[in-house]
Amino acid sequence: MILTIRNLVALMMLVLVAACSSPPPSKFKTYNGPPVTQVVVKKSERQMFLLSGKKVLKAYQVGLGPQPVGHKMFEGDGRTPEGIYYINRQNPNSQYHLSLGISYPDTEDAARAMMLGQQPGGDIMIHGRGPYGNKQTLRDWTAGCIAVNDDEMEDIFSMVRPGVPIVIYP
């Protein structure tokens, strides 16, 4: 009888402790500020800016592909594209925490790669680090994407919507 009461009290305490503990923080944040109307990346400076009109809302240090100089020519060249694209999708289940798709390749990119006898590649993203990225020691470690840390990516994911233009400068 005493053992049953002890077990019942222990179970009740366990339920109380579980009910009082807070859930893990969500990777989905909310944003109520001015809309992001453009994303600007300056590859040579390793910086990305989120703008609303001409006002910079946020600035980030970024990592790029392992061959950061020059425009992406084809799949596997390790370069990050340059030019005007747009954000075309959000991926909440990215292996790199969260990601935003960039509309690379456009028709010119595809034609350029074809003239070189190559595929243009795709799946160029702005993304966090995730477990794989957290193991990387080099600044420029992506396959041509634009990387920030996971906390920053949570902010970016909440602020930037599909359809927003992204301008990537050399």
In this predicted model, what pLDDT tens digit does every residue of 19-75 receive, in sequence order?
555 566 778 888 999 999 999 999 999 999 999 999 999 999 999 999 989 999 999
In this predicted model, what pLDDT tens digit does every residue of 66-121 receive, in sequence order?
998 999 999 999 999 999 999 999 999 999 999 999 999 999 999 999 999 999 99
pTM: 0.83
Q: 96 Cβ partners below 8 Å, 6+ apart? A: 125, 127, 128, 129, 130, 132, 133, 145, 147, 153
The Cα 167–Cα 50 span in angstroms is: 11
| Residues making up the chain, counted from first to last | 170
The Cα 37–Cα 30 span in angstroms is: 17
